[in-house]
Chains A and B, each alone.
Chain A
Amino acid sequence: MQNPQYNQQMEFFIDMQRCIGCHACEMACAECETNGQESMIHIHYVERAASVQTTVQVCMHCEDPVCANVCPADAITKDDFGVVHTANTSRCIGCSNCVLACPFGVPKKEEKAELMMKCNMCYDRTSAGKKPMCATVCPSQALFYGTREEIEKLRPNSTPVNKFMFGEEQVNTKVNIMMPKGSTELRIHP
């Protein structure tokens, strides 16, 4: 899977602090030819009664993707660039193992299609040297696609983190989240 246009220096960064909850990412994601007007990224209020803070839920592209590991049909694959791809439609049996297994709650089973669908990092765009659609349109750049060097220069007050501790379980991801300067990991269940 060699593609000269795919720049492996480019990474995806999510900064929840910057998210303004506008949903532009969802609407832009849904435009993709393969998504059938469904978005693979989701914005939710944390607790609207208390705050307008929103969060971004999108595939984190794990180094060792549990969704792929539990797939009985071998429908989910990770490519040489670390992108975890949506279930192959000819293989997916709609069993929902991936939906239950994902630590970030990302994959969704499209009930109508009986297929699992999730973000594949806009492979059609990123493999042609473009940014993913969500990070292109994001008006606050809560979603940023670029090099690690760029983001460290642009955002000196925060650090990209891609190590998540679910209790004792460590999950490393291709996608980074921006945390306060100096952070090294995010502990989900301390």
Chain B
Amino acid sequence: MAKLPTSVDSIIDQFGPHKAYTPKEGFQGVHEPDKLVKTHCCFCGMQCGIQLKVKDNKVAGFEPWMEFPFNEGRLCPKGVQRYLQNNHPDRILHPYKRVEGKGFEKTSWEDAMSKTVSEIQRIQNSHGRDAFAMLSGVSLTNEKSYMVGKFARVALKTKNLDYNGRLCMVSAGAGNKKAFGLDRISNSWADLKHAEVIIIAGTNVSETFPTLTHYIWQARDNGAKLIVVDPRVTPIARTADLHLPVRPGGDSALFGAMLKILVDNDWLDHEFIDQHTSGFQESIDAVKDYDLAWAEEKTGIEAAKIQQAAEWWGKAKTSFLLHARGIEHHTKGVDNVLSCINLVLATGRIGKPYCGYGTITGQGNGQGGREHGHKCDQLPGNRDITNPEHRQYIADVWGIDEKELPGKGLSAYEIIEAIHRGEIKGLITICFNPLVSLPNNNFVREALEKLEYYVAIDFFLNETARHADLILPGSLHEEEEGTVTTAEGRVVKINQAITPPGEARKDSEILIELAQRLGVGDKFAYDKAEDVFNELRVASKGGTADYFGITYEKIEKNMGVFWPCPSEDHPGTPRLWEDRKFKTPDGKAHFNPVSYRDPAEVVDKEYPVVMTTGRVVSQYLSGTQTRRIGKLLDQYPEPLLEIHPKLAYQYGIKDGDQVIVKTRRGEATFPAQIVETIREDTVFIPYHWGGKHSANQLTIGTLDPISKIPEFKVCACQLIPTGKMASVQIKETAYQSF
């Protein structure tokens, strides 16, 4: 049913992606805007403050917001160009229904709503409630994330709800909960400034969080040593004091070996370990054989560099360790995170000024969105859906019987697998583009084609939604009020600048009407975003992610409030753990033993090259938004295969040659970019593109056993040179995902 209704070219003609540019003279009224709206960028977890210029209910441009303390006007190219979405010709302005052989035709909201509800009921009556699943995304505000969690459990009554944070921060979240009993970075970015040593592991900061670069540079101006762990010399690695070019998959071996060096040299904080932690002995036992020679073999990093990193880390008085998807997108993502935390705990440098640790949350509301219940195993306040007390508390807040509250469901990739197996028959998505963002996406496409009914809510027609039976036009970031929680745990205010154009509606209105039609309108009686937030505050009260003391007024007055904030007179918590009272059952921070294991797929004779994936500065995630903005595309039009000159020479590949990259999942062709800034045994492809240009045709769908994150960052591939140069035509149309 959910096969494409017509040719992909015809769908692209109607819905894009098309490149949009600002007119030479600027959008009408840009120089005399009706108002400047203080809000935030819609993209990454930095959530930079920005002012949108509004003229005649359209976003016409931007003006830096100098007073917002995190970025003080600084922006990356995506932030500068983010205003181009509201005026974009691809914007979905009406509900559309799939018509076989024709494509998508306009339909009325009434028909769209009643069809959605009748299909949900038909599928659930025939196959059970859990046969209808929901996939969501954390570009949504806290209010919408909370509402999605409640909608799935209370209105759809399905257990199968998950979100695209499953591809993002879940390994970090799981690791942090194990170690600290709470999932948030320990300090605000301000504490980077005077850290003596900064380790950034698996995070291409300058391309994925450009505005965070300033904080790292400030620390270096103050004398900090910067250690970057990355298989590539990224812009932030270029000037690092120490670059550790780890072979993809070797992270926990590196951190394990560093822990052993700390122990061997007694670079430990015994008082902290004794008083405030548990599990130290088991953790050091696990690494007792991880000597430098072993580590060099497993990581591909020179022993002397590992020794140097451990020495700098071991002897520092203040430090900050940051990681991101580079160490988290692994079948041992949680292990990698825990092995970093072990280094932090061993030296006791947490909960003090300029001593911090954390993940750099990727998505705009990756932090808040992972706290309030649209994960398959979670309820608001970062509560556990399998914990009877937590269930009862939330059931009471929602006014339902606890027995009615569904249990733990499948994670995002498992939902796709269940669709493929025919167990899940219906799907509703919002702000998630799994056909581009999930691994092994030929498998994802097969799954989509098996759905009996698929409803997509979005503002642009992403590649996945091309397979939908029904498209409901939702709202952009700037079209609905709410809050998001930035990567440093600061809850900030998103202000509505304009109303949704055409017949598009606020996402919340769509969910509320569906809930009403599903017979639970009384549970969704919200007049405005603040009503949802006030319910969220109560739902989060007493949970680890406690927002109870945060109000809209307080956020605006203070330019954000850091959770936990348990009461209205509480100032918020920029720095965690100063009281040494960890949120684990025993109140201690937990070391966790980490034994190294190989990635799911290692290189062999048939597939001899390591393949890894990542991002470029001008694109964001699956590109639904950024592959529609002309200048961002012109900066990096198509995915290139980064390859070291030695490896290229071995295959006779010249710069710009088309190279077929083949894995056990599929093959795709990319132009070679021959650079010395990557390991000799590894190739890199950015993943923002769909269709024939999608790197995720090749990646592996094996999951971390705990976090269920897929192993995007390492698989084995073959390289097959074609000897032909890429054509200009392919380059110019790559963004369209044909």
Interface residues of A (CB under 8 A from B): 17-18, 20-24, 26-28, 30-31, 33, 36-37, 48-54, 131, 133, 136-141, 154-157
Given A21-B235, A49-B655: A140 and B210 interface contact (C-beta under 8 Å) = yes
Q: In the complex the two chains form, is B676's CB within 8 Å of A49's CB?
A: yes
Tell me the B59-92 residues at the A interface (CB within 8 Å).
61-62, 64, 66, 71, 73-77, 79-81
Surface stretch bound by A, among B17-25, B319-327, B523-531, B562-570: B17-25
Secondary structure of the A side of the interface? loop
Closest partner residue, chain A, to B22 (CB atom): A37
Nearest 7 A/B pairs, CB to CB: A20-B206, A139-B210, A20-B235, A140-B213, A27-B80, A139-B211, A36-B24
- Highest count of chain B CB atoms <10 Å: which of A22, A28, A36, A37: A22
Given A20-B235, A23-B618: A48 and B675 interface contact (C-beta under 8 Å) = yes
Q: In the complex the two chains form, is A51's CB within 8 Å of B75's CB?
A: no
Expressed in whole angstroms, the minimum distance between the Cβ of A50 and any Cβ of chain B is: 5
Closest partner residue, chain A, to B233 (CB atom): A52
Encode B398-435 as 1/0 by CB contact (under 8 A) with A.
00000000000000000000000000000000000000
Bound form: Cα–Cα A47–B217 in Å: 23
Q: In the complex the two chains form, is B80's CB within 8 Å of A49's CB?
A: no
Closest partner residue, chain A, to B211 (CB atom): A139
Q: In the complex the two chains form, is A24's CB within 8 Å of B238's CB?
A: no
Q: In the complex the two chains form, is A136's CB within 8 Å of B64's CB?
A: yes
Q: In the complex the two chains form, is A22's CB within 8 Å of B22's CB?
A: no
From the candidates B23, B234, B236, B635, name the one contacting A23 in the complex (CB within 8 A).
B635
Closest partner residue, chain B, to A133 (CB atom): B64
Closest partner residue, chain B, to A29 (CB atom): B80
Given A31-B22, A52-B233: A24 and B79 interface contact (C-beta under 8 Å) = yes
Q: In the complex the two chains form, is A52's CB within 8 Å of B76's CB?
A: no
Given contacts A37-B24, A136-B74, A156-B221, 5 further A-B contacts (CB under 8 A): A22-B206, A22-B207, A23-B77, A26-B77, A49-B645
Interface residues of B (CB under 8 A from A): 21-26, 31, 61-62, 64, 66, 71, 73-77, 79-81, 206-207, 210-211, 213-214, 217-218, 221, 233-236, 238-239, 617-618, 631, 635, 645, 655, 673-677
Q: In the complex, what residues of B have CB within 8 A of residue A18's CB?
A: 213, 217
Q: In the complex, what residues of A have CB within 8 A of residue B217's CB?
A: 18, 140-141
Q: In the complex the two chains form, is B77's CB within 8 Å of A22's CB?
A: yes
Bound form: Cα–Cα A52–B74 in Å: 21
Q: In the complex the two chains form, is A141's CB within 8 Å of B73's CB?
A: no
Bound form: Cα–Cα A100–B61 in Å: 35
Bound form: Cα–Cα A20–B21 in Å: 24
Bound form: Cα–Cα A131–B238 in Å: 28
Q: In the complex the two chains form, is B76's CB within 8 Å of A139's CB?
A: yes
Total inter-chain residue pairs, C-beta < 8 Å: 109
Expressed in whole angstroms, the minimum distance between the Cβ of B275 and any Cβ of chain A is: 37
Closest partner residue, chain A, to B74 (CB atom): A139
Q: In the complex the two chains form, is B74's CB within 8 Å of A51's CB?
A: no
Bound form: Cα–Cα A28–B64 in Å: 10
Closest partner residue, chain A, to B616 (CB atom): A22
Q: In the complex the two chains form, is A141's CB within 8 Å of B214's CB?
A: yes
Q: In the complex, what residues of A have CB within 8 A of residue B21's CB?
A: 37
Q: In the complex, what residues of A have CB within 8 A of residue B71's CB?
A: 139
Expressed in whole angstroms, the minimum distance between the Cβ of B85 and any Cβ of chain A is: 15
Q: In the complex, what residues of B have CB within 8 A of residue A140's CB?
A: 206, 210, 213-214, 217
From the candidates A17, A52, A137, name the one contacting B73 in the complex (CB within 8 A).
A137
Q: In the complex, what residues of B have CB within 8 A of residue A50's CB?
A: 675-677
Bound form: Cα–Cα A103–B22 in Å: 32
Bound form: Cα–Cα A185–B218 in Å: 25
Bound form: Cα–Cα A54–B207 in Å: 13
Q: In the complex, what residues of B have CB within 8 A of residue A54's CB?
A: 235
Q: In the complex the two chains form, is A137's CB within 8 Å of B26's CB?
A: no
Expressed in whole angstroms, the minimum distance between the Cβ of A181 and any Cβ of chain B is: 12
Expressed in whole angstroms, the minimum distance between the Cβ of A12 and any Cβ of chain B is: 16
Q: In the complex, what residues of A have CB within 8 A of residue B61's CB?
A: 31
Closest partner residue, chain B, to A35 (CB atom): B24
Q: In the complex the two chains form, is B675's CB within 8 Å of A22's CB?
A: no
Expressed in whole angstroms, the minimum distance between the Cβ of B676 and any Cβ of chain A is: 5
Bound form: Cα–Cα A107–B74 in Å: 26
Q: In the complex the two chains form, is A31's CB within 8 Å of B80's CB?
A: yes
Q: In the complex the two chains form, is A27's CB within 8 Å of B77's CB?
A: yes
Q: In the complex, what residues of A have CB within 8 A of residue B238's CB?
A: 51-53
From the candidates B24, B73, B207, B674, name the one contacting A20 in the complex (CB within 8 A).
B207
Bound form: Cα–Cα A30–B234 in Å: 26
Given A22-B76, A24-B77, A139-B74: A17 and B239 interface contact (C-beta under 8 Å) = yes
